[in-house]
Amino acid sequence: MDTSLSAQAHVSPVSDRLMQADIERIFATFGKIADIEFKRGTNVHSAVVTYASRLDCEQAVANLNGSELHGITVTVKQLDFHSSS
């Protein structure tokens, strides 16, 4: 299995009280994070967490989808793959 691909996890909804350090601390439990991008909308906020490894992203999705972050049940789904070259 090729583990040289990075992958992204989309997290929604994200509480406006949740900071980048919180997301990093929670999601880094599953592997090395390459980037975190917050998307702040008028009603719903979300985040995209990019993992260096596709397998780490898959583990985060499997373990965090449906969990509570700052009292809000979140959906965590894997997005497309990206070459790390």
Q: Which CATH architecture has domain 5-80?
A: 2-Layer Sandwich (3.30)
SS3 category, 27: helix
* DSSP codes of every residue in 28-61: GGGS-EEEEEEEE-SS-EEEEEEESSHHHHHHHH
Return the pLDDT at 4: 57
pTM, 2 dp: 0.85
The pLDDT of residue 8 is 96
pLDDT band at 2 (very low <50, low <70, confident <90, very high): very low
Rounded to 5 degrees, what are φ and ψ at 15? -60, 145
State the angle between helix axes of 54-64 and 20-27 in degrees (0 to 180), rounded to the nearest 10.
Answer: 100
Domain ranges within the chain, ordered by starting residue? 5-80
What tens digit of pLDDT does each residue of 12-59 get?
A: 999 888 888 999 999 999 999 999 999 887 777 999 999 999 999 999
